[in-house]
Amino acid sequence: MTSKAEGPLRGIVVVDLTRVLAGPYCTMVLADLGARVIKVELPVLGDDARHSGPFIDQEGQGPVSGYFFSVNRNKESIALNLKSPEDREIFEALVEEADVLVENFSPGTMHKLGYDWDTVHARWPELVMASISGFGQTGPYRELPAYDMVVQAMGGIMSLTGEENGPPTRVGVSIGDIAAGMFGVMGIQAALLERHRTNRGKHIDVAMLDTQVALLENALVRYQVEGKVPGPIGSRHPSITPFGVFKAKDDPFVLAAGRDAKFAVLCEQLGRAELAQDPRYTTNPLRCENHAALKADIEEALADKTAKQWMAIFKRAGVPCGPLYDVSQLMRDPQIAAREMLVELPLPSGSTLRTAGNPIKFAGDAAPDHRPAPALDQHRQQLLNEINAIQTSRRQK
């Protein structure tokens, strides 16, 4: 079985047992990079995400889940019941031709199905297998169910998010699922590289909770060095100032000028050059200590011009700044368009829907073609034909 797409992973075949978000995000990125991804779903119901909104009305064809559509492009779908002997035979024929098997069931489920790592590795020693779960394949929590909200809370992310002295706040995107998906892609590609040297597959074990710990940046070190538990501080940075959201005459926008030289330029452009010599602000540590007073001084100076006017001034002077977009503004930005970060995919009705593109670009390569998320069991006959052709060819040899 060969990949039908261009890209660095062309020729890699992935059998995808995942559903909802973390696993499908992982396999979507692999598909974007050129792998052929064959999505194995439950008969009738399919991936749980097919039943999650928002739904797109298809004029007599039934609703399509925008949730499912957004993370399953460039894949093929076949519906198989892995408890059925006939369907298991088809599944195993697919795995026989695959390079990678990805699953995000609760730990222990693959063992019950007869496809745990030890069994799979003994039968297909070159196969790379990735397991993405809430808490991983080991440890006291391995069998507990987990959702994005749970791992954001347990991983410390929520304790750092929100306004100062405010309640813990969930990050506005499913960072627990998406981070696990991204780390899954990295692990799979590393295992494929090692397989090239050893001809042996590996089992990648990615836990959503682990990925949240990995994203904590400097919070762990700050706690140990300062002896204080870090908490939410709004949009500002704990160790770089000024760095955050500032209000102009009309709208807020962001400024990031933590280095002393940039801070001096910022003050000059604000018409407040004396601020750079203020004893409270002469170094970054002092500015962090006096962040509230500095924010008030900066916003007092910003009050006489609009955010757009200030950003034009700061950009000419080389001061890092940017607008505070909502989703509708983001979708109209020319830089987003130039980077092809919105992929237009056709819907069954003939209309189109834009989803987020792949941020990994390869210099000199043309933008890849993208296929919409598949209908449930859409590629069944095509895949069965391929399997039959492969098996016939082997028998003839």
List, by residue number, the catalytic residues. 237
* C-alpha–C-alpha distance, residues 333 and 324, integer Å: 12
| Sign, CA torsion 26/28/32/33 | positive
Q: Which amino acid is at 176?
A: G
Q: How many residues does the chain have?
A: 397
Q: How many helices (DSSP H) and strands (DSSP E) are in the chain?
A: 16, 13
Taking phi over 0 as left and psi of -120 to 50 as alpha, with beta for the rest, 136 belongs to left
Are the C-beta atoms of 24 and 47 separated by less than 8 Å?
A: yes
- Using the CB atoms, write b or e for 277-311: b if 16+ within 10 Å: ebeebeebeebbebbeebbebbeebbeebebeebb
Q: Which amino acid is at 232?
A: P
Number of neighbours of residue 140 by Cβ within 10 angstroms: 7
What are the backbone angles phi and psi of residue 77, rounded to the nearest 5°? -125, 135
Are the C-beta atoms of 321 and 268 separated by less than 8 Å?
A: no
For residue 310, give Cα distances in angstroms to 139, 183, 261: 52, 39, 19
* C-alpha–C-alpha distance, residues 254 and 235, integer Å: 9
Q: Which amino acid is at 210?
A: D
Burial of 151 (0-12, 13-18, 19+ CB in 10 A): buried
